[in-house]
Amino acid sequence: MNKSVTCEVYDEVLLITLDRPKANAIDAITSHALGDAFIDFRDNDDLHVAVIIGAGARFFCGGWDLKAASEGEAVDADFGPGGFAGLTELWDLNKPVIAAVNGLAVGGGFELALAADLIIAADSAEFFVPEATLGIIPDSGGVLRLPRRLPRSIAMEMLMTGRRMAIDEAKHYGLVNHSCPLNELQNTALEWAHQIAKSAPLSLAAIKSVVRETDHMELETAYEFMRSGSIKPYQKMLRSDDAKEGPIAFSEKRSPKWKGK
């Protein structure tokens, strides 16, 4: 594991910390290390939720390392099988990821947060994509995901001007699920992760798969596709022991014991 990326396990939750002073910027080597962490999380049946956080108090992630770029790292460099930051193109990760945004989420750092399922942020967090002012575009998901997460006109404004979005506006538009003081962020994100981990892992996988596969379909078409048998994690959930365990546990007034099968 690259020393800039550390992993800690808290029961069923994996905490991934990006620690690359001063701005937690990501070069190709660090992107591969993050990808290794997310792939290990994907493949470990004992881990159900991941939290990605930046070290320090100022930057969650400063995006692509422009120093590496100035030294010859190309904008289309090999950032690993999960795409930039290891997550932005990891399409087969059917487990929840929380971005705990501890400060500035800049460019690719914002794109990393957008690739997560939930965003919990410090009160001081800010989000922006300055790529257009640098002669490029945020093509690690920003130009695609941002118009799906914000009103189109607001997303286009941010993409075209690089202006910053502070925490109150981010919460107003539903971009951020929750905010808290910086000194409470890690514990708060872990608490949310543990709450999510109480749900059945196959249900969580089915939810992510159905949402991803039916995104932007018309409702009737989405229903038909969901019921067609084409979404394997959904079919696995329907036929699982856990789908039987949940109602039994409810009727017996006890906590369910998920087996993940």
Give the active site residues. Answer: 111, 131
Closest CA to 84 of 128, 33, 159: 33
Cβ-contact 2, 29 below 8 angstroms: yes
Cα dihedral: 79, 83, 85, 87 (round 10): -150
For 248, phi then psi, to 5°, come to: -65, -45
* Distance from the Cα of residue 121 to its chain's centroid: 13
Peptide bond into 244 cis (omega under 30): no
End-to-end CA distance of the chain: 30
* Distance from the Cα of residue 84 to its chain's centroid: 12
Distance between CA atoms of residues 204 and 224, nearest Å: 20
Write out the H or E segment, with its range, that includes residue 105.
strand 104-106
**Who's near 39: CB < 8 A, 6+ residues apart?**
81, 82, 86, 90
Closest CA to 111 of 133, 131, 96: 131
| Helix pair 152-161, 142-149: axis angle to 10 deg | 140
